Chains A and B, each alone.
Chain A
Amino acid sequence: MPLLGQNITRRMSDNKRYWMDLGELHQQPEAIKGRENEFPQELAIDQVLGDPSFGKASTGRRDFLKFLGFGIGAATLAACETPVIKSIPYVNKPEDITPGVANWYASTFYDGEDFASILVKTREGRPIHIKGNPRFGINRNPALTKGSINARINSSVLSLYDNERLTSPMSKGAEGMTASSWSDADKAIGTALAGTGKRIVILTGTVISPSTTAAINALKAKYSAPDAAGVPATKVDHIQYDPISYSGVTSANQKSFGKRVFPSYDLTKADVIVSVDADFLSSWGSTTENTWQYASRRQPGKGMNRHFQFEARMSLSGANADVRVPLKVSELPQAIVALHAHIAKGTGSSASGASAEVMAATETAAKALLAARGRSVVMSGSNNEGVQVLVNSINNMLGNYGTTIDLFGHTNFHQGNDAEVARLVENMNSGAIGALLIAGVNPAYTLPNADQFKAGLTQVPLSVSFSGYADETASLCTWVCPDHHALESWNDFNPKVGHYALAQPTIRPLFSTRQWQESLLAWSGSSSNYHDFIRSTWEANMAGLGYTTPFVDNWNTALHDGVITMGGASTEVITFAGDIPSATSVAQKSGEGAGEFELSLYTKESIGSGAHANNPWLQEMPDPLTKITWDNYVCMSPVDIERMGLNMYLGEQAPASLVTVKAGDREITLPAVVTPGQRTGTVSIALGYGRGANGERVGRAACTTDHEGNFVPVGKNAYPLTTFLNGVVGYDVLNVSVEKAGGTYPIAITQTHLTDMDRVSIVKETNLATFLGGEKRAYNHPHELAVHEDVNGDGVINALDKKPVAEFDLWEEHPVEGVGHRWGLSIDLNGCIGCGACITACNSENNISVVGKDEVRRSREMHWLRVDRYYSSATTKESAKQDGLGKIDMYLKMEVPEESPKVVFMPVMCQHCNHAPCETVCPVAATTHSNEGLNMMAYNRCIGTRYCANNCPYKVRRFNWFNYVSEKFGEVNPAWDDLGRMVLNPDVTVRARGVIEKCSMCVQQIQEGKLAAKKAGTPIKDGAIETACSAACGSGAIVFGDLNDKKSKVLEMATGDRSYHMLEEIGVKPSVNYLVKVRNTEEAAAHHA
């Protein structure tokens, strides 16, 4: 460092001299001369200048700089030109489209897993938002006139704009998959189908569409008829396969009642619900129906239902239960046996025993059931036939058939038959299958014996997948004939006896895809399109249902409403014909052979069976209970985590420990996550992850690429751990080993609290008895501050003189009370089941960025609305006092959640405080208060100081650390390429880097609703304006409205006895209020005085 050396010697110090080398010290002339050069070596200037070509160059350095400067200047100026924007109107405007005005279409969502009547919002021909149909359909909550849906349904609009969808039919040749044309596909497949002498099998999910069945029958008719020469026909079979099997349930109904169906439940009539491992609010049965029916009976009062849940894993239903009993997986069949015994005893039948422990655990539930005969329901999530026969028997003894359970008006869901699928795989391997057409299912990913299926597929000469992606199954087929996305399709549905629904396209197909039913029609020799085919099917069948009005009227009604009901319910008497002793022994047997650890496999609220794993909104939606995004993991109880020495507390800098779960010869290594409520000795793993593990292109959000560009699937596939026993797929594995795998794994978790540390001003909870007691202070104690005046009139000013916090104002009040509108939200903690449909609805409405796992891990998720989850602790201040614990011990004990903690879900969005702390600290007034009570955010003004986020007591403000709409985040955020951008709501700004954003209470909807009222010249009707979250909440937990409207529901809730403000004591006067959670338990209220 010669240069540095010079300086040092000169300036370093006055009384010390530093020298670099002896030459300098002794003032050698060579050294002094050499110092003049910055670099002691000669520069290679001569070599460069000596190059003869250099001399010929006409541009000197100065010229170069001049040109550069001029160029930059010119480019800058040119960039300032007013951009010419083209505006291209229609040539012939469709009558019903007005640019700038949204059109809503009634349609239907069905993917084999969820069913819902929906409304699709389209802007300028692009579907951008989905909500439940508020007027029609089985998922409609009539009391609220809202359609209940879940996150998977409202997120499905994003999958339409996935640029990894197949854009044309593909055929498999020597060099892999190549794009083909529909005419080639039809020719090749038609020839192959006609030429095969073997069986043709159509493998689908559960088909509830009459017209699809008719199309399948058309293909059957074409290839099953004997030809003129009398050669035996090729047989066409239709096999239905559910990735999440209900085979045991339907075959139990076959054995019990002679009907292989999944019954229809009516939880609005159920006073007592006992669920043994059936997560009916999230994944079991007809969840969109169950949720609103359940929530409609959760209003505290005399009519409130009572919910018992027996389960190993803390499920969403268990989290909502009044009484939750954690049992080992192996004990769950015992619980049914025990319940059966209790009920049988109570109804005078003979009883068969179960272990005394389980008998005791089920006693309270049994008592409640017996007290509510005909007004109760027992459900079991088991796929074991014996267990389900016992459940049927219990319900039969209780007289629930015909009231809470309907077998005649049964659903048509879950018709899959595991045994037939297993036979199919065998037949494929033996070469008996000539052609396999696969629609709507992905067996190479979901089957327990997927390897055998894959091997069998190579033995099938013609395999056609109708998948929209080159997924696990499609990429192995000889042809892929991509189906439309559901929003591009026509379809009809018969979800329940007497209920018919239509799905209509809301956009022209984006790619050269074709509806799979239309492909079937084409191959069976019909040139009809599927729309005409549905119409003719309906026309042919409607007469049989006793319709006298002209067909076209009914059709138009069905198309407009999305739904039509026809055909009355039967009233025949059912008789239970199940064999109890054999069912009991089958059930008992299914609980045998338990090992050290027992595994239950489940599906998550967000990802489900995995069909939507490529949807980034769903991947980034935190799991309702673990609050983890972008991964699946092994759920373990705190006791086991501690015993095995695994990481208990997870966060940005605290990764999870990896464990290996071994079941027989299959194993899976995943991070271990502590889930309070998980029964010790059991573990749970979510299905539906690990898509695209072999590099299949299943949509970008399902897998990411690592630094080396390798595909890394999100999570791991747990389907190989499912079992196949007695002809059904099972999701419980009773003997697994869990071992520390060594190493850790970063987890993106959005909430790390384990317990609610007795801070009662965030969540408030009470039991029904206390609530019915009628004294508000007992369960909703207002916060009061001591004042220096004689409030209570006892003549002395002391600590007893208090005033409620609401009467204090730090600042002058905003004039919102009684002036114009004052928008507010009331959130009923009793109604909120934690499903998270509001989160994805908000994503869709407000263009909220997906940021990816790494950013979420750094707490940079952008969700405007979060659902906080709180676990209760067994230790309270009162119990600590009784136990004589010191303060430190008390708080330490409070940190340990109960074995089965109580769970509270709490949706939190911007509280739109009237004394907003964020507004006072913004240096540029980018966030201000409106006279309608809204806390406004002007992105253009925001300079990104983040003072507001810092000062927000609710932590609802989100900062754009990056430009999330850029290529950089394209990996996790396919919503932002040219195709994905089509999903954006054009009325909401897409935020750029460096600005804060937060819940606006869907101000665009407010403005739109106000404008509609002004144009109509009428006051705004309560309920006419909905925020995205309130519209998505079919259980009625989130209610939006005008607090200045005396007749509004939101005001009624806000002024009720249960209403309180979060962190009321800080006096920010929020516009959002919460309603105390009331649990239907008998235990005394553990609450502060």
Chain B
Amino acid sequence: MDAVPIKMLGMPLVVRISERFTLLRNASLTLLFFAFSLGALAQGTDAAQYAAGEKLFKGNCASCHKPDKDLTGPAMAGARARWEGKGDIYAWVKNSSAYLKTGNPYANELFAKWNKSVMTAQALNNEEIDAVLYYADNYVPPAGPKPPIDPNPKPEASSNWPWLVVIGLLLAVVAVSLSGVKSSLTNAVREAEGQEPLPDMTTGQKLRQWAWNNKGFATIIALFVVVFITLKLWDAAWVIGVYGGDEVEHYKPEQPINFPHSLHAGKVEAGNLAIDCQYCHSSAAKSKHAGIPTTNVCMNCHTAVSEGRSPEGTAEIQKIYAAAGWDPAALKYTGKIEPVKWVKVHNLPDHAYFNHSQHVNVGQLECQECHGPIDEKMDVAEQWAPLTMGWCIDCHNTKDVKMAGNGYYDEIMARLEETDMGHSELKKYLEDDKISVRELGGWECAKCHY
């Protein structure tokens, strides 16, 4: 299974994450408990009603209301107070349309104020309504934003560096002074022996002379240097390549919106949202392009979700609003749109035809098989696979065709079984007990190049 190495890579991380997460959860629970106790002290009511209200609120009201903020409908906190003496809030909640007909002035005023959007009739009894309102009035926002989960913490920069430099410098100074000492000593000896003192040579000259005297050694060093430089250049050449190869660092350009794939598509257990890839990249099953989600897709959720898990996240969400022309204060579209100019990450080589729907829909591949652990590990999208032809045909060589239950392949199999030539071909195909993509022509030029 291809996913094995990924899992193995992830193992220590999961451990690390869960450790951090437990800590966090404990902290927030403590905070929450603290808040409850405070609330309980002040109001003299119990956490049970709060919890019941919360459950009802999330089930029935949250799509249009927030406890503390206006959404499609008004903020629910203080609703009971606002209604006080102006009408029957219970009747209003149970069936607002019917209540409007009674001619209650406050109800009609509300209706007009909120763009005449009809509130859905709620099948709640008075106690339940009480609980919801209680929850709203005593709403305590979740304790502080969670620190963004960094599944891939960078190892802290090694602090040995400056020391090494200092030691290196010291050694160099020592070496220079020693060589000075050595030459003065030599000269002194020569003087004592009545010889001419050595000519005063520059460092370069000395070096050359040393090399001349130690040819073998110098050659080996020179060889090493040349090989080292060549290798470095070779590496560098890979990086400057247009599309790169296996050795390239994964291409990860800066994006106009710092979209965290891990937060949106990551696992729930890791505190993420686990949204299906194809919810946003919906054309992957239909078209050659997986498609960058259009801004209106973001707004499906982000009309309601206006706050991120960190101030930075909230700022990023504001960028979506700017693009979609959404005024979060007035909860209205202004009509001033500005398309998001994403930077393309996956650039297929020219003249190659690739179709997502063939692979996602027919081949039943998981997105991660080519795009890597984008849901778990990548905050901003990066290129995982090299996207070279060798990489493509490697997969075509090993992957088997998902034939079961597909009428198209039934017909192909029937034809293979019908004729002599088909029979012999089929036998060849089935030598390894499966029919690979390559055997059905997946290595042919015109499958991808036309």
Give chain A's interface residues, CB within 8 Å of chain B: 77, 80-93, 98-101, 813, 815, 817-820, 928, 930-932, 934, 936-941, 987-989, 1000, 1003-1004, 1007, 1010-1011, 1013-1020, 1044
Residues in chain B near residue A1014, CB distance under 8 A: 358, 361-362, 406, 408-409
- Residues B404-444 near A (CB distance < 8 A): 405-412, 415-416, 418-422, 424-425, 440-441, 444
- Residues B334-370 near A (CB distance < 8 A): 337-344, 347, 351, 353, 355, 357-358, 361-362
Q: A80-B241, A91-B294 are in contact. Are A1015 and B362 (CB under 8 A)?
A: yes
Q: Which 10 A-B pairs have the closest CB atoms?
A: A818-B419, A100-B287, A936-B446, A1019-B411, A93-B294, A938-B445, A85-B344, A100-B289, A100-B288, A818-B422
A77→B362 CA distance, assembly (Å): 42
Which residue on chain B has the smallest CB distance to residue A820? B412
Q: A84-B343, A85-B343, A99-B287 are in contact. Are A819 and B446 (CB under 8 A)?
A: no
Q: Is the pair B294, A98 in contact by a Cβ cutoff of 8 Å? A: no
28 contacts between A and B (CB under 8 A): A80-B242, A84-B344, A86-B341, A87-B292, A88-B342, A90-B295, A92-B296, A98-B286, A98-B291, A99-B287, A818-B415, A818-B421, A818-B422, A820-B415, A930-B446, A934-B446, A936-B444, A937-B445, A937-B446, A938-B446, A939-B351, A1000-B446, A1004-B353, A1007-B355, A1011-B358, A1011-B362, A1016-B407, A1017-B405
From B325, B339, B416, B440, contact of A90 by CB (8 A): B339
Which residue on chain A has the smallest CB distance to residue B338? A91
Which residue on chain A has the smallest CB distance to residue B440? A820
B240 interfacial by beta-carbon distance below 8 Å: yes
Q: Is the pair B242, A82 in contact by a Cβ cutoff of 8 Å? A: yes
Q: Is the pair B240, A81 in contact by a Cβ cutoff of 8 Å? A: yes
Encoded as 1 (CB less than 8 Å from any A CB) or 0, chain B from 274 to 291 comes to 000000000100111101
B101 interfacial by beta-carbon distance below 8 Å: no
From B294, B340, B341, contact of A92 by CB (8 A): B294
Chain B contact residue count (CB 8 A cutoff): 63
A90→B347 CA distance, assembly (Å): 20
B139 interfacial by beta-carbon distance below 8 Å: no
| Min CB gap B423→A, angstroms | 9
Sample of 13 further A-B pairs with CB below 8 A, known A818-B418, A1016-B408 = A89-B339, A89-B342, A90-B296, A99-B289, A99-B291, A817-B419, A819-B415, A819-B421, A930-B447, A939-B449, A1011-B362, A1013-B408, A1018-B407
Q: Is the pair A91, B339 in contact by a Cβ cutoff of 8 Å? A: yes
From A82, A939, A988, A1000, contact of B244 by CB (8 A): A82
B253 interfacial by beta-carbon distance below 8 Å: yes
A965→B268 CA distance, assembly (Å): 52
Which residue on chain B has the smallest CB distance to residue A925? B445
Residues in chain A near residue B288, CB distance under 8 A: 100-101
From A90, A928, A1003, contact of B450 by CB (8 A): A1003
B92 interfacial by beta-carbon distance below 8 Å: no
B324 interfacial by beta-carbon distance below 8 Å: yes
* Total A-B Cβ pairs within 8 A: 171
Q: Is the pair A82, B362 in contact by a Cβ cutoff of 8 Å? A: no
A503→B131 CA distance, assembly (Å): 61
Residues in chain B near residue A1011, CB distance under 8 A: 355, 357-358, 362
Q: A818-B416, A934-B446 are in contact. Are A89 and B292 (CB under 8 A)?
A: yes
Q: Is the pair B444, A819 in contact by a Cβ cutoff of 8 Å? A: no
Q: A89-B339, A819-B416, A1011-B355 are in contact. Are A989 and B410 (CB under 8 A)?
A: no
Q: Is the pair A87, B344 in contact by a Cβ cutoff of 8 Å? A: yes
Q: Is the pair A91, B343 in contact by a Cβ cutoff of 8 Å? A: no
Interface centre among A85, A91, A932, A1019 (most CB of B within 10 A): A91
Interface centre among B243, B340, B408 (most CB of A within 10 A): B408
B251 interfacial by beta-carbon distance below 8 Å: yes
| Min CB gap B392→A, angstroms | 14
A813→B293 CA distance, assembly (Å): 48
| Min CB gap A579→B, angstroms | 64
Q: A87-B343, A88-B340, A101-B286 are in contact. Are A989 and B295 (CB under 8 A)?
A: no
B323 interfacial by beta-carbon distance below 8 Å: yes
Residues in chain B near residue A988, CB distance under 8 A: 450
A939→B441 CA distance, assembly (Å): 19
Which residue on chain A has the smallest CB distance to residue B410? A1019
Q: Is the pair A91, B446 in contact by a Cβ cutoff of 8 Å? A: no
Which residue on chain A has the smallest CB distance to residue B417? A818
Majority SS at the chain A contact face: loop
| Min CB gap B101→A, angstroms | 32
Q: Is the pair B445, A82 in contact by a Cβ cutoff of 8 Å? A: no
A941→B444 CA distance, assembly (Å): 13
Q: Is the pair A817, B421 in contact by a Cβ cutoff of 8 Å? A: yes
A88→B242 CA distance, assembly (Å): 21
Residues in chain B near residue A819, CB distance under 8 A: 415-416, 419, 421-422, 425
Q: Is the pair B408, A1018 in contact by a Cβ cutoff of 8 Å? A: yes
Q: Is the pair A83, B421 in contact by a Cβ cutoff of 8 Å? A: no
Q: Is the pair A1015, B294 in contact by a Cβ cutoff of 8 Å? A: no
Which residue on chain B has the smallest CB distance to residue A939? B351
| Min CB gap A529→B, angstroms | 21
Residues in chain B near residue A90, CB distance under 8 A: 294-296, 339
Q: Is the pair B339, A99 in contact by a Cβ cutoff of 8 Å? A: no
| Min CB gap A990→B, angstroms | 9
Residues in chain A near residue B405, CB distance under 8 A: 1017
Interface centre among B251, B405, B421 (most CB of A within 10 A): B421
A30→B361 CA distance, assembly (Å): 91
| Min CB gap A485→B, angstroms | 27
A99→B412 CA distance, assembly (Å): 30
Residues in chain A near residue B291, CB distance under 8 A: 89, 98-100
| Min CB gap A531→B, angstroms | 23
Residues in chain A near residue B339, CB distance under 8 A: 88-91
Residues in chain A near residue B440, CB distance under 8 A: 820, 931
Which residue on chain A has the smallest CB distance to residue B333? A92
Residues in chain B near residue A1004, CB distance under 8 A: 353, 450
| Min CB gap A844→B, angstroms | 16
A635→B162 CA distance, assembly (Å): 92
A93→B292 CA distance, assembly (Å): 11
| Min CB gap B102→A, angstroms | 38
A1044→B407 CA distance, assembly (Å): 16
A100→B283 CA distance, assembly (Å): 9
A1010→B419 CA distance, assembly (Å): 22
Q: Is the pair A84, B253 in contact by a Cβ cutoff of 8 Å? A: yes
Q: Is the pair A92, B337 in contact by a Cβ cutoff of 8 Å? A: yes
Residues in chain B near residue A82, CB distance under 8 A: 241-244, 251
| Min CB gap B175→A, angstroms | 34
Which residue on chain A has the smallest CB distance to residue B291? A99
A93→B445 CA distance, assembly (Å): 34
Q: Is the pair B340, A89 in contact by a Cβ cutoff of 8 Å? A: yes
Q: Is the pair B343, A989 in contact by a Cβ cutoff of 8 Å? A: no
Q: Is the pair B240, A77 in contact by a Cβ cutoff of 8 Å? A: yes
A91→B446 CA distance, assembly (Å): 35
A84→B408 CA distance, assembly (Å): 40
Residues in chain B near residue A84, CB distance under 8 A: 253, 343-344
A88→B342 CA distance, assembly (Å): 6
A100→B358 CA distance, assembly (Å): 13
Residues in chain A near residue B340, CB distance under 8 A: 88-89
Q: Is the pair B295, A1015 in contact by a Cβ cutoff of 8 Å? A: no
A475→B447 CA distance, assembly (Å): 51
Which residue on chain B has the smallest CB distance to residue A941? B445
Residues in chain A near residue B449, CB distance under 8 A: 936, 938-940, 989
Encoded as 1 (CB less than 8 Å from any A CB) or 0, chain B from 292 to 313 comes to 1111110000000000000000
Q: A931-B441, A938-B449 are in contact. Are A1015 and B361 (CB under 8 A)?
A: yes
A819→B347 CA distance, assembly (Å): 35
Q: A931-B444, A1007-B447 are in contact. Are A86 and B343 (CB under 8 A)?
A: yes
A90→B241 CA distance, assembly (Å): 31
Q: A91-B339, A932-B441 are in contact. Are A989 and B242 (CB under 8 A)?
A: no
Q: A818-B415, A819-B425 are in contact. Are A1000 and B407 (CB under 8 A)?
A: no
Q: Is the pair A1017, B407 in contact by a Cβ cutoff of 8 Å? A: yes
Residues in chain A near residue B286, CB distance under 8 A: 98, 101
